[in-house]
Structure 1
């Protein structure tokens, strides 16, 4: 028969278990809330001009100016729920693909390749990208299911394992070198470097894996950083310039989707400046450095780093240099002003 003290202890134990579950649940909700809040700020800065405040079509100020295909309705629960969290993440962190028929990149059936939707792989950290996905989920009334914290821990575990493997490989090489020295001393000969070739190779492999693990763990929380863009060599023969500018126009339109934000003539978005007269007013070296690594010149710019290769950047610079539309007719403007 239980005493009053036993009943109290059972009740207290149950209460503590319930309280622990409540605290854990509240903690998870807090992390989720912080992630969503962070994602909302990033979305407002990088996404809202095209996708709109609530993710609805024709809500963002750039939506109606964009070329097709225009952004999806992120508030459409029925459609958006068909996409896994990982698929949404892949959309904002993919490599850009040349969608030009026949001469462009090979694109898989399940691969997202829409040039008007930029990648943020080279602009934001992995944690920030997951925050954007978490916020996008709220636009259609669902929640992020992907275990972001588990992903972070997994990267930390991988780094620890890679460090341990490197340490073992280093110790094995040191032991092999010591043995080789002792053997050489006995034979009164020079040390045979080939005697430790296996260990040297293993250490080199371990070193690469360690650097890879360090980069992955660092890029989870920190934004990507790149070396300063070197001054490009943009000199070439006239025939080469024409060919390169043609390639640049193709890349501008079909790979990097520059026209989603920049207007040329009557076509293109209005997020960035119009480029009709860019060939007159912009320095080619400046353009090259800007499109290669915009954050190095203006850290808070909305323009993402699209991961342009040197050759692609050079081609686009050549194309932008050809954009030399005539300026407005000042005499006509003055005459119109007098009439008014």
Structure 2
């Protein structure tokens, strides 16, 4: 074989090897993506079983969860209905799970947009789970109606990482600029034998403050994505007030209990309400007001794995609901309420 022929064969072999390498790399990338999606769905399934199954059912079907039939309207959607669920974007399902709660009371409640999801019986998990965990629930919910999550969660995480890195660089640069400006101002003041003029570094100080705020926002955004929210400890509330004020606040609490935070979806009062949490007919007898307030504000601080999510309840709303529960003093039942089989 001639030298030219040997070179030609070598080039062909190189091209074949290169092509094979590209194919293997692509295959490994697909395998990695598939493994990530599988882990994501598996994680979402566990979270769904803990937080969602009692209302939505194991397979997402209506009247399947043991609590479904006990809930007030509107009851959960049929998550197995591909015809309906396919009309929702991944981001819309995520937004439903991670929204802020709205008071749906007509006229006196919150202003709610025409396309805004505001259903009290569906709690928010914005203050309980990380964004990454919520996306895993969305990924699992998609499997209930035979679809896959298309939103690129890894790309979103990378975006937040890049934003945080950029913010850190800006903060470092702003700090260095401020230090240089401070030194220059000090040197000039020393030469003149006068006090340092703070106004001389006002521009750098302002830029440094802005950079620090941007950095903190970046840290918070990335932390919220990767880790569960860690909120400040709930201080002891002041629940002392005149009877008239307590009665008025209790009326507000009753409205918020059903129309904003959907407590009746999981808790029973009388013959109405869900069976996930304890009945509250006698809450005024058996529950301490301070304990109730703290539990409502931040249940995970008292019982980390509780099914009750942190609903992001304001101090005033928590106080109102606490005062309402204090009015619930039903006679002791002849026999305890039985939970539905599950």
Bucket of the pairwise TM-score, normalised by the shorter protein: over 0.9
In structure 2, the partner of 1:166 is 171
In structure 2, the partner of 1:12 is 17
Distance in structure 1 (CA, Å) of the matches to 2:107 and 2:234 = 32
Distance in structure 2 (CA, Å) of the matches to 1:225 and 1:7 = 59
TM-score by length of 1: 0.95
Matched, 1:181 2:202: no
Report Cα offsets for 1:82-130 as digits up to 9, x if no partner: 1111111111111111111111111111211100000000000111000
Secondary structure at the counterpart of residue 235 of structure 1: coil
Q: 1:325 to 1:185 in 2, by over 3 A?
A: same
In structure 1, the partner of 2:156 is 151
Please, which of 318, 321, 326 is the counterpart of residue 326 of structure 2? 321
Distance in structure 2 (CA, Å) of the matches to 1:103 and 1:200 = 45
| Range 185-194 or range 315-324, more displaced | 185-194
In structure 2, the partner of 1:255 is 260
In structure 1, the partner of 2:78 is 73
Distance in structure 1 (CA, Å) of the matches to 2:24 and 2:168 = 39
Pairs aligned (count): 331
Distance in structure 1 (CA, Å) of the matches to 2:68 and 2:268 = 13
Secondary structure at the counterpart of residue 151 of structure 1: helix
Shift of 1:305: 0.3
In structure 2, the partner of 1:238 is 243
Shift of 1:12: 2.6
TM-score by length of 2: 0.94
Unmatched tracts of structure 2, length 5 or more: 337-342
Matched, 1:291 2:315: no
Matched, 1:266 2:271: yes
In structure 2, the partner of 1:311 is 316
Matched, 1:93 2:107: no
In structure 2, the partner of 1:281 is 286
Distance in structure 1 (CA, Å) of the matches to 2:174 and 2:103 = 42
Shift of 1:328: 3.0
Distance in structure 2 (CA, Å) of the matches to 1:63 and 1:275 = 19
Secondary structure at the counterpart of residue 269 of structure 2: coil
In structure 2, the partner of 1:337 is none
Shift of 1:187: 1.8
Matched, 1:212 2:217: yes
Distance in structure 2 (CA, Å) of the matches to 1:7 and 1:192 = 73
What are the residue-to-residue correspondences of 1:123-138 with 2, within 5 Å?
Answer: 123-138=128-143
Distance in structure 2 (CA, Å) of the matches to 1:268 and 1:133 = 27
Distance in structure 2 (CA, Å) of the matches to 1:217 and 1:5 = 50
In structure 2, the partner of 1:56 is 61
RMSD: 1.4
Shift of 1:6: 4.1
Distance in structure 2 (CA, Å) of the matches to 1:309 and 1:245 = 15
Unmatched tracts of structure 1, length 5 or more: 334-340
